[in-house]
Amino acid sequence: MSLTLATVTPGEAEIFASLQGEGPSMGRPSTFVRLSRCNLACRWCDTAYTWRFTGDNRPHRDDLAFERTANQIVLDEAEVAARIAALAPDRLVVTGGEPLLQGPALARMVAAVKAARPEMHVEIETNGSVAPVPALDALVDQYNVSPKLAHSGNPADLALVPERLAHWAGEPRAFFKFVVAEPADLAEVAALQAQYAIPGDRLFVMPEGTGSAALRERSKWLAEAALEAGWRFTDRLHIHLYGDTRGT
C-alpha cells in the first residue's frame, strides 16, 4: 500500500526535520511529511505544487501550473514510516495538500511510525472539510484545523462544512488557525467563532504572506485584533527563518 507525497525536487519526497512554524506547537522540533492532493484551491496557497497541476485552471494568484510527475511521488507506507522514524524529532506533523484525503493509507503509516517510536506526538494539518477515518483518528494527538475564509476564493459550501466545523469545535485536540489577509476578514472569524462556539484558547489568527515584510506589516494590526477578541496569535516562523521554500 502507498501514499502520494509532494516532492522537494523531482523524485525526492518532502520528508524533513525542521521547527514547526505555526500554531500551538510553533518553535518545536518536528518531522514533517507533506502529502500531495487537495480538495480545495486557495488563491494564495503557498504549496500549490501539491494540487495545481497542468490542466487545473482553478484561480491562483501566481497562475503557475506544475507538472504532476515532477511534483508527486508515490512511496510505500512502510518506506515513509521508516524515513520518518529515522529522523530525530519526536513530533510528526503531517501536512499537505489535504492529508485526510489519504486517510486509510495515512492511518497505516502513522501506526507503523508509532510502533517504531511510541513516544511520537502526531499532528495533522487539515483544512477542516474532510473527516478523519476512525483508524487514523485513534492515533492523532493534535489537529491543526485551518478553515478557509472567503478571501481564499473557495466556495463556502466546499470550504466551510457545518457538520465538520461543529465536530472540530467540540474536539479538544483540535486547534483552529484562520489565515487573515485584511481587517475585513476578522468579522468572518468572529462570526464563525460565535456560530460554532469555538473556544478562544483554541483559536489562532495568522497573517497571510510568503515574505517577512508582508507578515510583519499584517502582524501589527492582527496582533491587536487578537488581543481585543481574546484569540491567540501565531506568526509564520519558518518564513522568517528560511523563506518561502520547500522542505523547511
Q: pLDDT tens digits for 21-54?
A: 999 999 999 999 999 999 999 999 999 999 999 9
Q: How many helices (H) and strands (E) does the chain have?
A: 9, 11
* Average pLDDT, integer, range 213-239: 98
Cα torsion 218, 123, 172, 204 to 10°: value is 0
CATH number of 2-242: 3.20.20.70
- β-sheet with 142-145: strand ranges across: 15-19, 29-34, 91-95, 121-126, 142-145, 174-180, 203-207, 232-233
Contact between 39 and 10 (Cβ < 8 Å): no
Q: Which of 97, 105, 82 has its CA nearest to residue 3?
A: 105
How much is the pLDDT for 63? Answer: 94
Model confidence pLDDT, tens digit, residues 87-116: 999 999 999 999 999 999 999 999 999 999
Q: Which of 84, 72, 1, 74 has its CA nearest to residue 37?
A: 72
Model confidence pLDDT, tens digit, residues 131-145: 999 999 999 999 999
Question: Which set of grid coordinates corresponds to residue 141?
Answer: 494527538
Confidence of residue 208 (pLDDT cuts 50, 70, 90): very high
- 232, β-bridge pairs: 204
Share of the chain above pLDDT 90, in %: 100
pTM of the model: 0.97
Residue 55 backbone class (left: φ over 0; alpha: ψ -120 to 50; beta: rest):
left
* Average pLDDT, integer, range 180-190: 98
How much is the pLDDT for 194? Answer: 98
How much is the pLDDT for 227? Answer: 98
